[in-house]
Structure 1
């Protein structure tokens, strides 16, 4: 596997992304970013306190944020940002897969703010030990993971281990304001948890939209008895983090979307569109785009003083393109061999559609569950979903395009110079690194698979009968100040007050179960279960006109049903024979989803849309299992102390 990425030729770069460099757009973009930074005090690590009325972030007159401006950030090269690319090949990590013994896997991480150039533009980023994506965390079933996270940013943070069950360890889930308070600037938290379930997954910051800026990485957990591995021999495995990317700082985009109250381009629900994508941190995105927005429609104005005023706030269209040479992600493998590719959608908004020219892919694992093999030409993953695929190098030795194509169903407006297709190069061993595939076909030549494909678990497990059924619905709507937020039932999630986290409120309230059973924590929707041997069916009806990838913390659930329209019937007669099992699945526009899970995992577990813009706009609820057991948790004092620090500081 090559340790470097190949430079994109000028001809192919021109085909991939036509350039527009207008001085007016540059000045406008700079003005917008400066205005946003001054208005919000946007530091890279900012987790916007979601009060739904105003920002309490600090700013200074010169545009610095909490004492730090982008001019003060260290600049790191692309090579340093990406690190040793050979680390994504399992054999290079010399990792022994075994269930015979367990061990402690200990890591020291520093999260910091830098400037770097993953594509053609220099951009503010969050890095872990100087890299994005961060280090690969790898372990066997039963191993103990110990990660010391040092916060070298100007704002708080937390780190979530996506898909981990963490039974009896809910306080290690890393969900800001739910299972912990934030790690303060200059502070440290040690995450210490045991591997209880395995497969291909990832970790990411779980505060604000921090992971959009780069704070994420792969989490690869092995089981020596894994069916996907034992039933399908392969030579080696490769991890590929695939995501959309933004050249504008994520907090600035979030502020623009929320402050206007109608979406980033002035239309209801319009999320910031990405500028391109990445493959293991390598991008060909050349530009940063913001559409024009003129808030003149009276019923959409945030001000309640005089809605007849049509002057509004005008944000001009901006489009600034960088001129740094971009590169392709490179992967060199041995011909006539079969490899396992671990695909992870670590993005914020868009589905990723993965393919390799002239090569079939056979899906053998999804979200940590081994599945009956499905052979396809491309794999469609919603945000936070994962899949392992087998690829056999059975073609003529040469160079072939690896494609990360962004699904455009979530992209409401099309940015100027949007780069939908991000390319890597698969080379057969013996092919010179200077060799590129023959051409770069247009984006519309790609084929797309069905994101709702129902995989059959290879290790059959029938679903038990439900003991309780809960039904919720979600949508987006205007509120009293004419802002637009997303709601579960009548609740739009926001972080609790400084110094508070849901897990500790449950501790306080556990003696009064009636208060918890009002289905709220603070003002937020919270479903409570007190039955340790129960089975819950959660019915979710989507009243919105978009698809949403939903993730339940602490569980791999059975997907009992999903489809168009809304479901208000009895779930007890649904098919229970070996349903698909996932931890993240998609609800179609104006459709429904029914998931089933055991209620034996004590804790406060988040259930949320994994589109970052939607979660920050309120599309999150919690499920509290066994509150009396939660109250009895022996939470380390160092974690409780984070709330004491938080209560004394404004975010």
Structure 2
């Protein structure tokens, strides 16, 4: 939320609205080939036959229109990451959450008002497609920027796989992968190219918009002999904070101001170093500390001393950042404890889960259920047994306590909101924990790192009726089930919004029910809804108890036989046999 705080703001707003534009993009989603790391050409997903897809830019109060045609041989869906989508929840994009995926050969138009400014990105929200290259920056400008700078540059960070995401998912979600080892990327890239570079003009100030568009890897970013002044995280402007390095988990964005030196005698390197803690193996072929040159003068090859501050340095603490727009945290109306864990489930696959239950997509998109089932959407039951639905009351202050029982860090993204980060630490947090929460002006963002075997506490106001996904943004983990669904003020959503007919038509085109509960039926008849993938029962079932009882009886009979035989007189038994034969 951006508040107008100065006298005369009404006239400024009127002028801004008058200058608002409609930004129209025509995207044909296609396959093409690319070799960004120079090691292997592969099929990728691009736009209009080109890869990488073109960056998207707009200004606050514009209307963004993306006309999508799906020329792939599989469905797709498009998510504008970080957009609030106030009153347009059906434009959010996650497949089977707010929409049916777009079938091959079909069209769909995403249209929504730009009410925010800052650094965002657009990516596929169907299976693991964005790891196949379907991702691009979304840069939203303010009419008057809070910070002044001379140049605006976007620096993307990605992990890169030579195998397509379908192959990676087949390997990861497999009973022969009981430890849940994630596929290791083959490369890391800055600005989608192993040969990328930047040029600095002496004395000028650059806004570098860092976007981690990876499916897995966290990056630590730095520039040799330059200070990074952080001014924005995930679209939220913060008080200028100098740093030597910044860390970005998958899906996080950070804007930094960098003032170029007045000396052209040296060029320098920027570094993006992979956090290797989550990698189950460290291949010799993988370069972990990636760097590209920043040229002050391309006529020479003199480079300043390589500091590589980021390498093996994870000291960046984003919780110290303070938003420019001061907003104190208030006591929550409701607190939801979400335990993060991984374990082998009844289908033999190691899955991610909240509160011991992995997410399974329903047969009808959750938002469609909200709009088609009358009063039933006020109850979580109608949305299915494994969508992890939590019903939120309108305007409640909601607290999510994220207790990570896994040993690794995880990035979690909340659709439709930014949240306040009021606490983070080691160990397990509960009501008996004696820690001091940050409630004065805590950092706000939409994607947060939860430390391994630690906790993070976030709060947000339930002021955006609709259906919002909350999930790990490591794509392997999302597809394994590490997600829940927040159904926010369903009664208010029904009053404020109407599901466009194009949403239902797209479902029908794809052979997916457009109405009904999670099973595609009416009311609370949920027979056939996706379910049954749960933790393996830690105990004995009725059949198991019967089998155990049989084993015990058989064992007792065996022991009794052995005891009887041990106490028998072999000679007496032999004489009895001989006498019996003589009598015959």
* Shorter-normalised TM range: 0.7 to 0.9
- CA drift of 1:331 comes to 1.3
Residue of 42, 50, 60 corresponding to 1:131: 50
Cα deviation digits, residues 5-56 of structure 1 (max 9, x gap) = xxxxxxxxxxxxxxxxxxxxxxxxxxxxxxxxxxxxxxxxxxxxxxxxxxxx
Q: Give the alignment's Cα RMSD to 1 decimal.
A: 2.4
Residue of 534, 554, 572 corresponding to 2:396: 534
- CA drift of 1:513 comes to 4.8
Deviates more, 1:349-358 or 1:141-150: 349-358
Cα deviation digits, residues 310-339 of structure 1 (max 9, x gap) = xxxxxxxxxxxxxxxxxx202122111111
SS of residue matched to 1:431: coil
TM-score by length of 1: 0.72
Cα deviation digits, residues 129-188 of structure 1 (max 9, x gap) = 233332121111111000011111110000001111111110000111100001111111
- Given the alignment of the two structures, is residue 508 of structure 1 paired with residue 508 of structure 2, yes or no? no
Contact map agreement 2:69 2:106 (CA 8 A) in 1: yes
How do 1:382-421 residues align onto structure 2 when only pairs under 5 Å count? Answer: 382-394=249-261, 396-397=263-264, 398-421=266-289
Residue of 10, 27, 30 corresponding to 1:112: 30
- Given the alignment of the two structures, is residue 258 of structure 1 paired with residue 258 of structure 2, yes or no? no
- CA drift of 1:436 comes to 6.9
Contact map agreement 1:357 1:400 (CA 8 A) in 2: yes
- Alpha-carbon distance in structure 1 between the residues aligned to 2:505 and 2:373: 20
- CA drift of 1:399 comes to 2.4
Residue 189 (structure 2) aligns with? 278
Contact map agreement 1:149 1:188 (CA 8 A) in 2: yes
- CA drift of 1:421 comes to 2.3
Contact map agreement 1:276 1:422 (CA 8 A) in 2: no
Residue 74 (structure 1) aligns with? none
Contact map agreement 1:161 1:173 (CA 8 A) in 2: yes
- CA drift of 1:425 comes to 1.5
- Alpha-carbon distance in structure 2 between the residues aligned to 1:238 and 1:575: 33
- Alpha-carbon distance in structure 2 between the residues aligned to 1:162 and 1:201: 6
Cα deviation digits, residues 257-290 of structure 1 (max 9, x gap) = 1123535xxxx1211111121111103xxxxxxx
- CA drift of 1:393 comes to 1.1
Cα deviation digits, residues 545-587 of structure 1 (max 9, x gap) = 1100000000011111111112221899844211110100011
Which sections of structure 1, spanning at least 5 residues, go unmatched?
1-96, 284-327
- Alpha-carbon distance in structure 1 between the residues aligned to 2:426 and 2:470: 21
- CA drift of 1:441 comes to 8.5
SS of residue matched to 2:278: coil
SS of residue matched to 1:259: coil
Contact map agreement 2:369 2:377 (CA 8 A) in 1: no
- CA drift of 1:202 comes to 0.5
- Given the alignment of the two structures, is residue 371 of structure 1 paired with residue 201 of structure 2, yes or no? no
TM-score by length of 2: 0.80
- Alpha-carbon distance in structure 2 between the residues aligned to 1:519 and 1:463: 33
- CA drift of 1:596 comes to 0.8
Residue 149 (structure 1) aligns with? 68
- CA drift of 1:360 comes to 1.5
- Given the alignment of the two structures, is residue 337 of structure 1 paired with residue 204 of structure 2, yes or no? yes
How do 1:43-192 residues align onto structure 2 when only pairs under 5 Å count? Answer: 101-119=19-37, 120-192=39-111
- Alpha-carbon distance in structure 2 between the residues aligned to 1:126 and 1:166: 25
Residue 521 (structure 1) aligns with? 384
Deviates more, 1:405-414 or 1:480-489: 480-489
Contact map agreement 2:467 2:487 (CA 8 A) in 1: yes
Contact map agreement 1:144 1:195 (CA 8 A) in 2: yes
SS of residue matched to 1:524: coil
Residue of 390, 402, 408 corresponding to 1:546: 408
Contact map agreement 1:98 1:223 (CA 8 A) in 2: no
Greater relative contact order (CA < 8 Å, ≥ 6 in sequence): 1
SS of residue matched to 1:252: helix
- CA drift of 1:616 comes to 0.6
How do 1:180-259 residues align onto structure 2 when only pairs under 5 Å count? Answer: 180-227=99-146, 229=147, 233-259=148-174
- Alpha-carbon distance in structure 2 between the residues aligned to 1:490 and 1:128: 39
- CA drift of 1:514 comes to 5.6
- Alpha-carbon distance in structure 2 between the residues aligned to 1:393 and 1:135: 27
- Alpha-carbon distance in structure 2 between the residues aligned to 1:446 and 1:593: 23
Cα deviation digits, residues 431-489 of structure 1 (max 9, x gap) = 33x74748988999665442554311122111233211121212111122422111111
- Given the alignment of the two structures, is residue 566 of structure 1 paired with residue 428 of structure 2, yes or no? yes
- Alpha-carbon distance in structure 2 between the residues aligned to 1:339 and 1:456: 21
Distance 1:131 1:379, change over 3 A: farther
Distance 1:510 1:588, change over 3 A: farther
Which sections of structure 2, spanning at least 5 residues, go unmatched?
1-14, 514-584
Distance 1:277 1:436, change over 3 A: farther
Q: Radius of gyration: which is bigger?
A: 2
